[in-house]
Structure 1
């Protein structure tokens, strides 16, 4: 690898520094000066300014950059898209992604040269981000995001792509699929997961320091979180199975979206109402179940989205007032509450729009399970993945007309399955006990199913009280299978 004093090659520079001029926050000239002040030979790196259509100080670009930068004009209006365009047109061995409201200290590129020489196992690395704040909200914003950055760089096993200051071997970047504009800033997580899944190591070079300007404006924060969430939901809705996709955490709003299916909610509610044991033995818990399901049964996700919107709006109002008179600690706390509430609402809203537009692929409990309501997120117990149902749950299954066997496989978490006290309901009618076979690992139901191609199976059971777990827990389900014309096992 060439050192900073190596002979330059104008056609093949060592680094391509890619600066998208979107979201420059009035700092793009300072960013430019930072790159022009690098201590390595200027011939070792090219600067690519990727210009969006609406860049207002466009007339100053040529005068400022002169012949020191390549100007690439693009139709994209998103900085991830601009970065992808810059990478496609770059000539360097290493791609250096940054933002136009960030500026490097003079020795950054020299430190990068040395890092690639000393750490050949690194396919790329992120540099250290130093916040620059100018108001109370920007201080709280910086504290929140810096905590997340530090976690990613120092604790998390793979989430180490930071587009403020990320440098990578070009061939590895291309091998891993690059940045995808349609995913917004969620593309950083997708790219980082792809590196990790392929065994490519991303490091953290703390000595290479960048200054990052935080705007401290709530409208910009809202725009940024929506951009991330829309990319996240778009990626999940594609149902991709590619290296790294299994590493991305599934948000709870996504995994529980069938809970707002009105037909399934009505099935769970009907099963609870029909189960006379519930009203006699567990009246308080039964009323909790009724309150749980009546909203989704009548309104789908409307009430949940409305409540989430109100929580986010309230947090924003409080934060707006605190920005003028609150203590730094109080502002920081409400900043986190606002962002969490905003993300929750935006996820619910994005999922609602995606479902209405084209439906969504989900990791449900079986290939024949079309939808499932009343289930918690997947978890692991003794090495096996499963989902807790609630004491009332409903699934819509794909069936063939006539006799079918439905197998509900469970874990022995709450005791032997024959003591759980389940009652099943098929399309609103109770399943006779003689049609249910109990095994060590679950239940088999021998059912005569309609010719419609789909049926709804609901169940109720006593609530399971787990120590330190506030959730309403019912059945620990591993998977559900539907077999046509199959014989159940001997009980």
Structure 2
């Protein structure tokens, strides 16, 4: 193994071990001892201690490190920011990211050198994390996170970056954008997705073992989840299309957020009211009343009821968890901790999205680049070779086109019936769209619309209710995309396979 560094030239080490000294949980000295006790030749690695501005014990740290480590000082106060800064100072061909509340076993460097030799196809790899617990909550915390780590390392197709102990070729790290400090711990997922999208393999080295200290405090759980969620929502708000961005799952709160737009809710309720007055609607009045209640509540209150319910769920879960820590069984503590984390993430997403409101328009375009917002849509799903979102029987979208005449194409696979049989009524800024402006094809509604000077308007529709088998949702149209373009002709042009007949309304009653 001693010939490995010779290939890197210039006297540079093989590894740059980057240790951020934030969140050390009182374990940084233990971490330091783990690194200075490595059995591998010390010329193979350098240790970079990245020190945040408020780190206590700087003089003790300098005395302890001596000539065995480089100290780098930065204004960043977050582990990810410290790691990102440390990477800019590294000289090794491989970066080794870890945390200061983790410590390696003595043969970790040797195991990593062996892995590089045996797996030249690996652009990076994560090591094996062993939990260190000291109270009942830390045991439950470790069980939950270790299960997630194990799933990521052994089953998930790309979520392989574990910042407790992650080794990567330095050139690939920079090629994939590196760790973005503004994303907090969500930056790990973004980086992992970028590696996968660019065709780089991240391995899992179980032989290299790290001990990870779990603190077991409710406040720390809250801080960590908020950090992750803030990064997640900030990333979604950027609407970036970097390699790997398509792999990151959009949380349901982000999809539902646009439905809290009061003006869109009013447009959907207006569509429901006009549709009902036209003699259309559900056979059961109770369904109609529930729809009026739903849209009326959203139109009046926006996301307030959802946020209040989420906050109440967090309070209940935290109270239950706190009581169980004192008197409950280990199984009960684990169950309620998962409940607490889930409710906390839900609330934090709603709050972060609310703070981002007004900046997140581009990222909310789930149905096309010309759709600025939408209300009344379910999550993305696939069926019969189509990827689409079911709308509710009433839905509304804010579209942007050009001033004057535009063509709007709502692409909708005919999964429930032919589009002609469904026969939705369309409304532009509250006014019914005339039948002469609508053409119905095999899988597309093509509509001529006159948009105002701003080029922005709200298009809403109402259609009969569909209940799927074993599905409690209220379904309307299956929508693949909504396209808006300037009208370059004098009338609606039929597309291949389209029925050219223009119809004025639904041909089949409820």
Instruction: Please indicate the TM-score interval, normalised by the length of the shorter structure.
Output: over 0.9
CA contact (8 A) 1:11 1:91 kept: no
Match of 1:473 in 2: 475
- Output the CA distance in 1 between the equivalents of 2:35 and 2:402: 66
The 3-state SS of whatever aligns with 2:12 is coil
Match of 2:497 in 1: none
Match of 1:185 in 2: 185
Match of 2:504 in 1: none
CA contact (8 A) 1:127 1:205 kept: yes
CA contact (8 A) 2:269 2:292 kept: yes
Task: Confirm or deny that 1:346 pairs with 2:368.
Answer: no
Match of 1:337 in 2: 339
- Output the CA distance in 2 between the equivalents of 1:296 and 1:139: 42
The 3-state SS of whatever aligns with 1:97 is strand
Match of 1:84 in 2: 84
2:300 is aligned, of 298, 301, 305, to 298
| TM value normalised by structure 1 | 0.95
Alpha-carbon distance, 1:218 to partner: 1.0
1:222-277 Cα deviation digits (max 9, x unpaired): 11111111111111111111111111111111122210110000111121122224
CA contact (8 A) 1:5 1:41 kept: no
- Bigger Cα displacement from structure 2, 310-319 vs 158-167: 310-319
Match of 1:169 in 2: 169
CA contact (8 A) 2:379 2:390 kept: yes
CA contact (8 A) 1:4 1:110 kept: no
CA contact (8 A) 1:184 1:227 kept: yes
CA contact (8 A) 2:107 2:208 kept: yes
Alpha-carbon distance, 1:4 to partner: 8.0
- Bigger Cα displacement from structure 2, 433-442 vs 145-154: 433-442
Task: Confirm or deny that 1:460 pairs with 2:497.
Answer: no
- Output the CA distance in 2 between the equivalents of 1:268 and 1:282: 19
CA contact (8 A) 2:125 2:161 kept: yes
Match of 1:422 in 2: 424
- Output the CA distance in 2 between the equivalents of 1:2 and 1:94: 16
Alpha-carbon distance, 1:408 to partner: 1.6
Match of 1:140 in 2: 140
In the alignment of these two chains, the number of paired residues is 491
The 3-state SS of whatever aligns with 1:377 is strand
The 3-state SS of whatever aligns with 1:275 is helix
Residues 237 and 280 of structure 1: is their aligned pair in 2 closer, same or farther, counting only changes over 3 Å? closer
1:266-324 Cα deviation digits (max 9, x unpaired): 11112112222456623122122122222221122222222212211221111111111
Alpha-carbon distance, 1:58 to partner: 1.6
The 3-state SS of whatever aligns with 1:130 is strand
- Output the CA distance in 2 between the equivalents of 1:285 and 1:228: 39
The 3-state SS of whatever aligns with 2:125 is strand
Match of 1:51 in 2: 51
- Output the CA distance in 2 between the equivalents of 1:280 and 1:207: 62
- Output the CA distance in 1 between the equivalents of 2:344 and 2:103: 29
- Output the CA distance in 1 between the equivalents of 2:463 and 2:202: 48
Match of 1:370 in 2: 372
CA contact (8 A) 1:272 1:278 kept: no
Residues 124 and 432 of structure 1: is their aligned pair in 2 closer, same or farther, counting only changes over 3 Å? same
CA contact (8 A) 2:237 2:359 kept: no
CA contact (8 A) 1:9 1:44 kept: no
Residues 22 and 402 of structure 1: is their aligned pair in 2 closer, same or farther, counting only changes over 3 Å? closer
CA contact (8 A) 1:81 1:180 kept: yes
Match of 1:312 in 2: 314
The 3-state SS of whatever aligns with 2:23 is coil
| Structure 1 runs not aligned, ≥5 long | none
Alpha-carbon distance, 1:354 to partner: 1.0
Alpha-carbon distance, 1:71 to partner: 1.0
Alpha-carbon RMSD: 2.1
CA contact (8 A) 1:354 1:360 kept: no
Match of 2:73 in 1: 73
The 3-state SS of whatever aligns with 2:263 is helix
Match of 2:35 in 1: 35
| TM value normalised by structure 2 | 0.92
Match of 1:103 in 2: 103
Match of 1:249 in 2: 249
Task: Confirm or deny that 1:288 pairs with 2:309.
Answer: no
CA contact (8 A) 1:268 1:392 kept: yes
- Output the CA distance in 2 between the equivalents of 1:234 and 1:462: 38
The 3-state SS of whatever aligns with 2:129 is strand
- Output the CA distance in 2 between the equivalents of 1:86 and 1:409: 49
TM alignment of 1:179-328, pairs within 5 A:
179-276=179-276, 277=279, 281-328=283-330
- Output the CA distance in 2 between the equivalents of 1:163 and 1:465: 45
CA contact (8 A) 1:9 1:43 kept: no
- Output the CA distance in 1 between the equivalents of 2:298 and 2:409: 27
- Output the CA distance in 1 between the equivalents of 2:190 and 2:77: 20
- Output the CA distance in 1 between the equivalents of 2:186 and 2:263: 33
| Structure 2 runs not aligned, ≥5 long | 495-499, 502-510
Alpha-carbon distance, 1:404 to partner: 3.5
Alpha-carbon distance, 1:410 to partner: 0.5
Match of 2:117 in 1: 117
- Output the CA distance in 2 between the equivalents of 1:452 and 1:163: 47
Residues 335 and 447 of structure 1: is their aligned pair in 2 closer, same or farther, counting only changes over 3 Å? same
- Output the CA distance in 2 between the equivalents of 1:110 and 1:363: 49
- Output the CA distance in 1 between the equivalents of 2:427 and 2:474: 20
